[in-house]
């Protein structure tokens, strides 16, 4: 169902709180005075800056006053679907942008909306009128962000300011759209009346399998975009090509198809079609404009769980790749998993940093992975800043598979998740529940991390959702610290011979249990979480964590439980055991880490010094997104904004929530 968005102003007065209508506001105590002497800042990029640090220099909010944080405004966009009607299921996962006083975001239906960042009042709405509305497989409708760009050559369009500032957005039906940031109107000089068709070269049955979910990158005079490619459908899935377009006219400037160097065609020459099955790039990109590099996190070649027919196509698979900003040619790449058959693709934005005590002060990049690994690299060369060990792993895959004998493990910091989950580690709420998990773990093939998928069920630990996922990390460059949220939930994988798989009733399997056809290979695949008979993960809690790492020493400073069992378990089983989580964090100079992400309906703040949860607010839907924070002027409050709109496991919603300290009233 689609409805017109609206803004709901939160009452902050004492009488309203006494009547119980301040549902999401803080307690009704006296107001804290606001310190207006600190810095101001926008949030003009997906990760705050082009390097994706998700760090804010703002200091108005601190551990001392955060408990007074209240709901300042709420905007409901109305683009919600439970998947039972015309639209596929929706998931509101966006990270907004804030530039020049305006907040920009996209909805799951790919509408783009501009709000007054101070008040939440709507300025404009653009509807792309999607061609594809139905989903397939486990993928909900989602849009995680847009890009903001300012032209250094104002007035190119007819001598007016039209489109001198632009919003770029990618859509579910594979279009890249340029909008005037002031009005929301399509930019007439960009592509076909504001649109570039990313689906060109795709067959009709491929078009639902290929589309952007992460925000484009707009830098210099380029807009760069990758795309999701549906997992495990078939060998000849759409290419994972990354393309750069002229930010003014939409013409193709370069294209990088992630194939081995010997396969590369001339830049921009696809020969009429990109290489099918090449690794896709669905996660956010980052940019070092000064050094002319764009950093690309790659997924697996298709399909994910069997690689016997890749013919070397995973050369760039599960890697972070540095591309020349002008040409798209690879400058270097670092592979986080060799010949990945676990769906351990690189899920998060490569995050850039410059910290004097880290790696001898060299320009740095950290790549978070689903295995709980953090690889610290020289971002100019790709060389590890600290030793990476190649350790032996099992290699006895299914017939036709040829696995790598070693896999890379970082040493600084050391892996944040254990390498192995054994039957002796089994968890349960009761002795019977624990015995059930112990028996289930003992029945699985289990060589620890990188256990090869087999024709009998195998234990995947960590599971393919993470470790870290697309929420990535946040980095405080002043304190020299990194913050990362992780899942800790095991999975079970089984490959099934083609003849047997084709006889299965795929329609009877419901997410999170999954069946994948992997057409063109000898196998189909079955995958799902490892749960007890009570429905809880079989590994010991916490099942969700927030971790602080000292990048100088490589040591973990603290690890806190992230989330509770509320909203996925009945009362009184609301326990602080951590929760599965998807979404990211923001860290501030004021000493706070803000995060939603969990399966419970809460928004939280942690003290950066000790990991103590210092602020928690109940919100209308789960916030499987990443927050932003900004302060517009010298007399303004610092806002923290998060999208709350559910995920595949929770109720879909449409709430954009802005929190701030209470505004001064008359006479204050």
Residue 613 burial (10 A CB sphere; 0-12, 13-18, 19+): middle
CB 215 within 8 A of CB 145: yes
> For residue 317, which of 303, 305, 335, 330 has the smallest C-alpha distance?
335
- In the set 343, 345, 433, 567, the catalytic residue is 343
CB 60 within 8 A of CB 38: yes
* Alpha-carbon span 375 to 486, nearest angstrom: 16
Ramachandran region, residue 273 (left: φ > 0; alpha: ψ -120 to 50; beta: rest): beta
CB 375 within 8 A of CB 319: no
* Alpha-carbon separation of residue 97 from 114, 149, 160, 209, 431 (angstroms): 10, 11, 24, 27, 49
CB 267 within 8 A of CB 329: yes
* Alpha-carbon span 563 to 457, nearest angstrom: 30
Instruction: Report helix, strand or coil for 188.
Output: coil
Q: Is 343 a catalytic residue?
A: yes
Instruction: Report helix, strand or coil for 209.
Output: helix
Residue 327 burial (10 A CB sphere; 0-12, 13-18, 19+): middle
DSSP 518-562: -BTSSEEEEEEE-B-TTSSBSSPSPSEEEEEEETTT--EEEEEE-
E strands, 181-221, are 195-197, 210-211, 217-219
Q: What is the 3-state secondary structure (H, E, C) of 252-306?
A: EEEEECCCCHHHCCCCCCCCCCCCCCCCCCCCCCEEECCCCEEEEECCCCCCCCC
Sequence-distant (≥ 6) Cβ neighbours of residue 146 within 8 angstroms: 97, 104, 105, 106, 112, 167, 168, 169, 215, 216
Phi and psi, residue 546, nearest 5°: -120, 125
Based on its alpha-carbon atoms, the radius of gyration of the chain, rounded to whole angstroms, reads 24
Instruction: Report helix, strand or coil for 3.
Output: coil
* Alpha-carbon span 449 to 417, nearest angstrom: 10
Cα–chain center distance at 469? 6
Length of the chain counted residue by residue: 668
Provide the annotated active-site residues. 343
């Amino acid at each position: 169902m689609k409805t017109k968005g609206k803004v709901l102003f939160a009452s902050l007065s004492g009488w309203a709180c006494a009547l119980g209508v301040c549902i999401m506001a803080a307690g009704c105590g006296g107001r804290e005075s606001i310190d207006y002497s600190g810095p101001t800042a926008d949030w003009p990029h997906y990760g705050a800056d082009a390097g994706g640090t998700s760090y804010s220099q703002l200091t108005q909010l601190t551990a001392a006053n955060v408990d007074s944080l209240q709901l300042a405004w709420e905007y409901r966009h109305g683009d919600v679907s439970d998947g039972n009607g015309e639209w596929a299921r929706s998931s509101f996962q966006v990270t907004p942008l804030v530039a020049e006083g305006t907040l920009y975001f996209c909805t799951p239906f790919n509408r783009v909306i501009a709000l007054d960042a101070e008040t939440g009042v709507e300025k404009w709405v653009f509807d792309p009128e999607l061609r594809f509305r139905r989903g397939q497989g486990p993928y909900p409708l989602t849009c995680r962000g847009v890009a903001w760009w300012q032209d250094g050559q104002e007035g190119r369009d007819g001598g007016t300011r039209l489109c001198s500032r632009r919003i770029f957005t990618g859509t579910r039906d594979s279009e890249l759209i340029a909008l005037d940031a002031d009005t929301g109107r399509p930019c007439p000089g960009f592509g076909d009346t504001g649109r570039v068709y990313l689906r060109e070269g795709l067959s009709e049955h491929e078009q639902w399998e290929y589309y952007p979910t992460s925000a484009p990158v707009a830098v210099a005079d380029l807009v760069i975009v990758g795309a999701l490619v549906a997992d495990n459908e078939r060998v000849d899935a759409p290419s994972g090509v990354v393309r750069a377009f002229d930010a003014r006219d939409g013409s193709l400037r370069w294209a990088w198809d992630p194939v081995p160097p010997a396969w590369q065609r001339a830049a921009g020459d696809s020969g009429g079609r990109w290489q099918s099955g090449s690794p896709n790039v669905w996660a956010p990109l980052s940019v070092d404009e000064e050094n002319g590099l764009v950093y690309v996190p790659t997924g697996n070649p298709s399909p994910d769980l069997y690689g016997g027919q890749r013919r070397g196509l995973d050369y760039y698979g599960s890697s972070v790749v540095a591309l020349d900003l002008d040409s798209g040619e690879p400058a270097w790449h670092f592979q986080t998993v060799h010949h990945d058959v676990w769906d351990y693709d690189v899920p998060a934005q490569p995050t850039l940093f410059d910290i004097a005590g880290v790696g001898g002060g060299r320009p740095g990049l950290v790549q978070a992975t689903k295995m709980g690994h953090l690889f610290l690299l020289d971002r100019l060369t790709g060389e590890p800043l600290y030793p990476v060990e190649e350790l032996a792993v099992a290699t006895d895959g299914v017939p036709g598979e040829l696995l790598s004998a070693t896999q890379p493990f970082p040493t600084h910091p050391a892996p944040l998740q254990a390498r192995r989950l054994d039957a002796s580690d089994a968890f349960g709420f009761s002795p019977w529940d624990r015995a059930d998990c112990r028996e289930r773990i003992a029945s699985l093939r289990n060589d620890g991390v990188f256990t090869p998928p087999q024709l009998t069920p195998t234990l995947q630990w960590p599971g393919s959702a993470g470790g870290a996922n697309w929420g990535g990390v946040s980095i405080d460059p002043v304190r020299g610290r990194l913050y990362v949220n992780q899942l800790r939930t095991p999975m079970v994988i089984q490959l099934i011979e083609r003849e047997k798989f084709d006889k299965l009733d795929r329609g009877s399997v419901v997410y999170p249990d999954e069946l994948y056809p992997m057409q063109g290979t000898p196998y189909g695949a079955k995958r799902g979480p490892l749960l007890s008979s009570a429905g809880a993960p079989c590994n010991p809690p916490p099942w969700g964590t927030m971790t602080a790492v000292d990048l100088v020493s490589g040591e973990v400073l603290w690890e806190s439980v992230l989330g509770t069992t509320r909203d996925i378990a009945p009362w009184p089983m609301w326990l602080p055991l951590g929760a599965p989580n998807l979404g990211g964090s923001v860290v501030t100079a004021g000493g706070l880490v803000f995060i939603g992400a969990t399966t419970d309906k809460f928004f939280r703040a942690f003290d950066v010094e000790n990991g103590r949860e210092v602020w928690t607010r109940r919100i209308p839907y789960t916030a499987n997104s990443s927050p932003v924070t900004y302060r517009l002027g010298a007399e303004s409050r610092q806002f923290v904004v998060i999208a709350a709109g559910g995920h595949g496991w929770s109720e879909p919603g449409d709430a954009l929530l802005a929190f701030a300290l209470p505004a001064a009233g008359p006479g204050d």
